[in-house]
Amino acid sequence: MSRPALPNDTELRDRVRGLDLDSKISLLTGADLWRLPAEPRLGLSAVTMSDGPQGVRGAGDDPDETGLLAPAPSALAAAWDTGLAERLGELFATEARRKGVDVVLAPVVNLQRTPVAGRHFEYFSEDPLLTGTLAAAVVRGLQSRGVGACLKHFVANDSETDRTQYRARLDERTLREVYLAPFEQVLAEAEPWSVMAAYSGLDDGTEPAPMTENARLLREVLKGEFAFSGPVVSDWAATRSTVASAIGGLDLVMPGPDGPWGDALAAAVRAGEVDEQLVDDKVLRLLRLARHVGRLDEPEPAPVPAQPAEEEFRLLREVAARGTVLLRNHGDLLPLTPDGIRSVALIGPNAVAPYLQGGGSAYVPAVRTVSFEEGLRAALPEDVLLTVHRGGDARLRLPYASATLLTDPDTGETGVRADHLDAGGNRIGGEVHATGDWTTYDGFDAQTHRVLLRTVLTLAEPGTHRLEFGCPGRFSVTVDGEEVLAGDDGRGVELVLESSHNHPPLRGIDVEVGPGGRRLALALDLAVVDAGGYGRFTTAQLRHAPPGPTPYEEIAEAAAAAQAADVAVVVVGTNEEVESEGWDRTGLDLPGHQNDLVRKALAANPRTIVVVNAGAPVLLPWADEAPALLWAWLPGQEAGHALADVLLGRIEPSGRLPWTLPARAEDVPVPDAVPRDGVVDYSEGVHVGHRAWDKDGLVPAFPFGHGLGWTRWTYESVTLSPTPVSAAVPSPAGGGDGLKLTVEVTNTGPRAGREVVQVYLEPPHDGTDRPVRLLAGFATVQAAPGARVTAEVRVPARAFQIWDSEARTWRTPPGRYRLHVGRSSRDARLAAEVTVDKGRLHPPG
């Protein structure tokens, strides 16, 4: 597959040749954490990057900057709608330009290989075709407005445990058919302007190497076979070599200004270890990116409104609502009719504190957030009583110490004082914060070696109080002058890569308080962490919990509220301790006592609606007992409005599961993500996600593709394209020749609705190790009650193909293939057959 050269490439090559070696190499490492170097002699302005993919965080120039917080990618994927995905990409582009950002580090097209993966919420799906199709739509939307996408993390970087060290061991066929497949599809369909190389590496039978040094995949496959013409960017601080990474295909080291290239790379070129033509190619690729985003010989991009428009809020609300999956609706409890409701009990730890976004680089300080309580209160009639009950805390970490308990020891005013100390212990600056949250604090000058936090904590309530301190690196904690905790971790950038800088391990003490109260002098002495391109910082968290009711007392109170209400809405789920970049989960259970809470509420009120607020699968042992069950994902800033829209029938929850929900932990095909001897073994081969469930004949709680919506659908007929088309020419999943299925469906229910028509391909049973069924195509249609509608589903030729590792090419095994058309991977309504003979597809008739 070849593509024509971009316009003016010849002229760009002439510009590159006009620079000396050192000037060229200076462009290949970031200028700082987010910006690329400028070069006036080339007409090159600085290109600015920003984290995604749940929004656009910005370059951090304004510490108080906020932004639009979208639903997590898994929520978008649940809509199975390319048009909606493209619209969200356009919104990201507008937001990027609002913040002066040229390239968004998104989308993530790694796969949900295991449900415990820490960044599961950031991935679209467990299925490569669904992932590639929706990611391509996001890229098209983003780049249609002049903002670049950075496709990541290339490749097989599907878990977080030891993510900077492990090697993924997988055979060539699995790599091609599963993990490279979404990258190949997005590159073919949407041509992203940059690609990020992963932290991890690959062990595919050749010499194991970090991805930043993998010449076979970066140079031969990505840039050669896939004809990618943009720059390959390192994940942040992932590059650890000079020559190996330079000749391996990496083009840009991030962050800067330091790194393994610079003078070392110039010396390697002069020594003949690296060909200067490779350097020229890297610069050319960066210039292409700059030209795409308007940073080459062009004025500043056109301004956009400084504040988000209401239509942008509405789109985020629509994505969250339409991605919501209705898993059960016994007796048509949903949607609710407000006229018949006098009281609603909103219950659950996530009802009180919704989990809106996953932790890590996806984090965006939201311009606004709408809680579930606020959304329901705004939507329900004024005379409906709405009560809110936590039902126990699901977090292991305590809340931050309240500002009302903290006193600056120097002034007597509220707050925690920070003294900035130089190497000799002399105070050279300082400031005061109101709270105990000093996460990633860097408000000091370059001479600061230590930060001393001091406050007086006043505890008035008698009983046992719990204090927790979170401090990575080197630190000492004293209470009333006595050291109670200390640490001596001298690492730098590693603390960032494992998220210890914003999720430090907690150490706690119990404090007994008598009737007269107690005042404690607290001091946290923190050594400054030098994290290279990530800057110099300290981190401290002061957390506190007073004596209070037990979880079981809170559950009993919530159950009583459920019994007294006309309707109970119980919101359970995960939180920032559970789903985040930097670590993988150790299990699938809901945290805390949430299962007990649900069961008590269900027993108290038969009109109980359970809402799961989580990005990744959790076990729901009571699922069959819930009359109504919704999966609401990590819904972003418009969470409350979206849930109210769904509950009251304003928007149909037309989502379908983009992954399989297990009923039992022991059934999960890939139960953990822990490397063994530095290796993550992809021993399941091509049987990932729902394919593995089918191979093993296991019954999940809810299958891949499942979702009910508000109405019912009858599948009337399926016809195939009558003209045989070639299957011999290799083509990516979204392009090339293939089949077209025309499916007639009728909305036989009482309400208008959307249906996701899904097509699964069953290959011939000829002894070849192939999936029992694989997703081969889908289409989303909508119809009024009683109306019939036609869905056209494209099944690409690649769906029939397998990778021949010996011949190193794609081939189409002959035989009879069966196409299953239906509502999920386990709910087929229609079928058709296709015969492959001598590399050609022969539909019936």
Percent with pLDDT over 70 in the chain? 96
Among the four given CATH numbers 3.40.50.300, 3.60.15.10, 3.40.50.1700, 3.20.190.10, the one describing domain 311-392+550-656: 3.40.50.1700
Q: Which two tokens stand for residue 315?
A: 């789109």
Domain boundaries for CATH 3.20.20.300 within the chain? 10-46+194-292
Q: Model confidence over 182-216: pLDDT tens digits?
A: 999 999 999 999 999 999 999 876 667 899 999 99
User: Which residue(s) pair with 340 in the sheet?
Assistant: none
What angle is formed at CA 412 by the lines to CA 409 and CA 414, rounded to 5 degrees? 95
Domain boundaries for CATH 2.60.40.10 within the chain? 713-842
Average pLDDT of span 537-553: 93
Find the Cα–Cα–Cα–Cα dihedral 178, 183, 184, 188, rounded to 10°: 150
Model confidence at 336, pLDDT cuts 50, 70, 90, reads very high
Q: Which two tokens stand for residue 68?
A: 């639009």
206 vs 322, residue with greater confidence: 322
Average pLDDT of span 79-98: 98
* pTM exceeds 0.75: yes
Three-state SS string across 324-347, please? CEEEEEHHHCCCCCHHHCCEEEEE
Is the pLDDT score of 323 beyond 60? Answer: yes
pLDDT on residue 469: 94
> Is 667 assigned a catalytic role?
no
Is the pLDDT score of 360 beyond 90? Answer: no
| CATH fold for domain 403-435+443-534 | Jelly Rolls (2.60.120)
Q: Which two tokens stand for residue 447?
A: 């001479």
Contact 222, 154 (CB under 8 A): yes
Domain boundaries for CATH 3.40.50.1700 within the chain? 311-392+550-656
SS3 829: strand
Average per-residue pLDDT in the chain? 93
| CATH fold for domain 713-842 | Immunoglobulin-like (2.60.40)
User: Which residue(s) pair with 630 in the sheet?
Assistant: 326, 611
Domain boundaries for CATH 2.60.120.380 within the chain? 403-435+443-534
Q: Model confidence over 137-191: pLDDT tens digits?
A: 999 999 999 999 999 999 999 999 999 899 999 999 999 999 999 999 999 999 9
Q: Which residues neighbour 836 within 8 Å (Cβ) at sequence distance 6 or greater?
A: 727, 800, 812, 813, 814, 815, 816, 817, 842
pLDDT on residue 43: 93
Percent with pLDDT over 90 in the chain? 86
What is the Cα–Cα distance from 773 to 569, expressed in whole angstroms? 37
pLDDT on residue 439: 87
Q: Which two tokens stand for residue 311?
A: 């239509």
Q: Model confidence over 410-431: pLDDT tens digits?
A: 999 999 999 999 999 999 999 9
Catalytic residue among 51, 203, 235, 694: 235
Average pLDDT of span 356-378: 95
C-alpha count within 13 angstroms, C-beta hemisphere, residue 318: 13
pLDDT on residue 728: 37
Domain boundaries 10-46+194-292, corresponding CATH code: 3.20.20.300
pLDDT on residue 732: 58
Is the pLDDT score of 351 beyond 80? Answer: yes
Contact 831, 785 (CB under 8 A): no
Q: Model confidence over 6-39: pLDDT tens digits?
A: 447 999 999 999 999 999 999 999 999 999 999 9
